[in-house]
Structure 1
Amino acid sequence: MGKHVAGLILVSLMGWVSIAVAQQALAPVEARVPFAPTAFMGSDGLTHLAYELDITNIYGDTGPLKPQSLKVYGDDASVPLVSFSAVDLADMTRPAPAEHAPVSIDSGKRAVMYVWITLPKGGLVPRTLRHRIEFVAAKNKTELLDGARVTVNTVTPLAIGPPLRGGWWMAHEGPGNAHSHHWGSLVAVNGMVTIPQRYAFDLVGVDHRGHAMRTGIKDITKSRYADWIGYGVDVIAVAGGVVSDARDGEEERLPLSPQQEPESLTAHGLFGNYVVLEIAPGVFAGYAHLQRGSLKVHVGDHVRRGQLLGHLGQSGSSSAPHLHFQLANAATFEGSEGLPFVFDHFDSLGPETEAQLFGQGEPWAPLPVEHRQAQLPLNDVVIGFP
């Protein structure tokens, strides 16, 4: 009889321990993914997921919470898809901590973690993602978050044509760079916080040396528009669609001149001369910083793939001639979310640094041309449109 009682007590204790373990995930935070990720194929030939994880330290008396690790699990897997250390989190979280300091989320404050996942080659895209974060709280107490599940969007990224006619282009500040002014820029307007430029890049024209300017420029601070490789190149429709917004007549800035604060976080305040095309229901292609007086289309016009829209320039919030290109889920910049896409074909010539654009450091050495299909160029890769 005593053995039976002891066994019952042991079972009860084990059940209590299991409940206690399950109750450990009590971190006093709100954690959520505001916009579900969509899998896409990058120019590295791998499938990626890119999204933001918002962490809010809710209570006023909790004190700072310092995340020590983040693990992301696919579906019901026991092994994480990816693990990030405290050092990793310091590099991928905004507001960014001081140099060499850990992330610390004060009471009542929010931190945004920019999560980039590269899936195993040939592996399946998970249906859902689960997040597990360990925090160090006051008096070195450990707090655990286990949840913040998000369903992965199953929509296939839209395949589009080139936005420029010919040439070589560096996809500057592109996908995968959480430090860029594209993915890293939250836009808070009228009660909404979105990232319209999540998958955007700046296409900077380069020559066979990988330089953005022509030979013979002695002082780049005094360069003219014509000195820049891409200036004036044809900007074309990536797909058939309808012009939902457009603007022309804005003056262009001098190359490498000081930037002014935009009048608003809208297309009018940022894009200068621009065109927005609706190329599928709820999918809008944005072209920014076009040459003054170059637009060939108006709001309401129907365009076909490859049709001339205008010419590459330097209007709006732009430090040098380039084409800013993005896809988003709304015609307006504010309130829209950036969408992934793929070019149906392009040439890849390998990565380049910003310094090499200006002939600094080691000379750029292009890789053998590789013809790519149905991929999204990643950050600072040089591509060509045949």
Structure 2
Amino acid sequence: MYNPIIVAFPLRGEWYSPNTPGTKIPSHGTDQLGTRYAYDFIQVDWDRAGYPSYRASLPQYLLFGVPLNEYYCWGQEVYAPCDGVVVQAEDDYKERARTNLFSDLANAYKNAHYFDPAKDDVRSVAGNYIIIEYADNIYAALVHLQTGSIQVSVGQTVKKGDFIGRVGHSGNSFAPHLHFQLMDSCDISVANGLPCAFEEYEIFQDGEWKAMTNSIPTNKDRIRFLKYNAENTE
């Protein structure tokens, strides 16, 4: 058993985590690139069969791919999960204009299992990303961000809940999503993952929303976090 580091949920609204340490460890099938305890977050249509993450039809998705703006989460705001200092902020890596299931999955598998930090560009995996130093040897990485969306720069101090970027599809991404992890180094290529839990969020259970504290969502949970919106509409 491990004691996770507690951070704030980095998104607002409803989300689903298909890859989470609440279901399996390593959550992404590998310990490379600091991903042992990493999360992926997407938005889905809970009323459609299969809970798709896009507005298009399944045949279009399989045969032709889907433009990024057809994904529910693309462009959604990302927030700082903790107080800290920005130590890396990369924002010039282009996103592919549309998804392609087979090529994206092949690319994801290749990078997850064969990435060589000695010769490969970490942006081929991370795309556009922000790394925040939270404490000594604790870094938060927010990855695959939308090109041109990053709101912070290296050396900047951020507070928990600050708007820092938008969900994108850059780098090693099977579809627009936020990849989030804590790690022991600011260098993704050599970092070890660190376990983390979220200080508060809700899950939809038995027809109602249930508050969760210092918890780790599973891949069966419908997640919601609205506190930021509530605070700013008072």
TM-score range, shorter chain: 0.7 to 0.9
Shift of 1:255: 1.4
Partner of 2:159: 304
Judged with a 3 Å threshold, the aligned counterparts in structure 2 of structure 1 residues 248 and 264 are, in CA distance, closer, same or farther, namely: farther
Deviation sequence 1:323-351 (CA, Å, 0-9, x none): 0000111111122221111211101126x
Per-residue CA deviations over 1:22-42 (Å, capped at 9, x if unaligned) read xxxxxxxxxxxxxxx623xxx
Looking at structure 2, the residues matched to 372 and 198 of structure 1 have their Cα atoms a distance apart, in angstroms, of 23
Partner amino acid for 2:146?
Q
* Structure 1 partner of 2:18: 172
Amino acid aligned to 1:158: I
For structure 1, the 5+ residue unaligned runs are 1-36, 40-156, 188-194, 351-365
Match of 1:229 in 2: 72
Per the alignment, in what secondary structure is the counterpart of residue 24 of structure 2?
Answer: coil
**C-alpha displacement of 1:225:** 1.1
Residue type matched to 2:217 in 1?
A: P
Q: Is the 8 A contact 1:243 1:278 kept in 2?
A: yes
Larger Rg: 1
Match of 2:150 among 295, 305, 322: 295
User: Are 1:274 and 2:129 matched, yes or no?
Assistant: yes
1:71 corresponds to: none
Contact in 2 for aligned 1:174/1:380 (Cα 8 Å) = no
State the alpha-carbon separation in 1 of the partners of residues 220 and 94 from structure 2.
28
Deviations 1:193-228 (A, max 9, x none): xx6111111101123424312266761243211111
The 5 A counterparts of 1:119-130 are none
State TM-score, norm by structure 1: 0.50
CA distance in 2 between counterparts of 1:240 and 1:330 reads 17
Normalising by structure 2, we get a TM-score of 0.80
Asked if the contact 1:290/1:312 (under 8 Å) is kept, the reply is yes
1:375 aligns with 2:215: yes
- Mark the CA change 1:178 to 1:304 in structure 2 (over 3 Å): closer, same or farther: closer
CA RMSD of superposed structures (Å): 2.2
Deviation per CA, 1:231-285: give whole Å up to 9, x if none.
1000110111101111111111221351334464464231000001011221111
**Residue 10 of structure 2 is aligned with which of 163, 167, 177?**
163
Q: CA deviation at 1:178?
A: 4.4
CA distance in 2 between counterparts of 1:318 and 1:380 reads 21
Taking structure 1 as reference, are residues 237 and 179 closer, same or farther at Cα in structure 2, changes over 3 Å only? closer
Secondary structure of residue in 2 paired with 1:369: strand
**Mapping 1:340-359, distance limit 5 Å:** 340-349=195-204
Decide whether aligned partners of structure 1 residues 284 and 198 sit closer, same or farther in structure 2, where only a CA change above 3 A counts. same
Q: Which residue of 2 aligns with 1:246?
A: 89
Structure 2, unpaired ranges of 5+: 227-234
Identity %: 30
Query: In structure 1, what residue type is equivalent to 2:30?
Result: S
Contact 2:56 2:66 in 1 (8 A): no
Instruction: Sort the Cα spacing of 1:281 and 1:367 in 2 relative to 1 into closer, same or farther, 3 A.
Output: farther
Q: Using CA pairs below 8 Å that are at least 6 residues apart, which structure has the higher relative contact order?
A: 2
Contact 2:26 2:36 in 1 (8 A): no
Alpha-carbon contact 1:168-1:207 (below 8 Å) kept? no
Assess, with a 3 A threshold, how the Cα gap between structure 1 residues 179 and 306 changes in structure 2: closer, same or farther.
closer
Q: Whole-Å Cα distance in 1 between the matches of residues 135 and 18 of structure 2?
A: 26
- Separation in 1 of the partners of 2:177 and 2:168? 6
Matches within 5 A, 1:1-386: 38-39=2-3, 157-164=4-11, 166-175=12-21, 176-178=23-25, 180=27, 182=28, 184-187=29-32, 196-209=34-47, 210-214=51-55, 219-220=60-61, 221-253=64-96, 254-257=98-101, 258-259=103-104, 260=107, 261-262=110-111, 264-265=116-117, 267-349=122-204, 367-386=207-226
In the TM superposition, what is the alpha-carbon distance from 1:322 to its structure 2 partner? 0.3
CA contact (8 A) 1:169 1:383 kept: yes
Structure 1 runs of 4+ aligned residues shifted over 4 Å read 215-218, 261-266
Give distance in 2, aligned partners of 1:216 and 1:337. Answer: 39
| Cα shift readout 1:73-110 (whole Å, capped 9, x = no counterpart) | xxxxxxxxxxxxxxxxxxxxxxxxxxxxxxxxxxxxxx
The count of aligned residue pairs is: 208
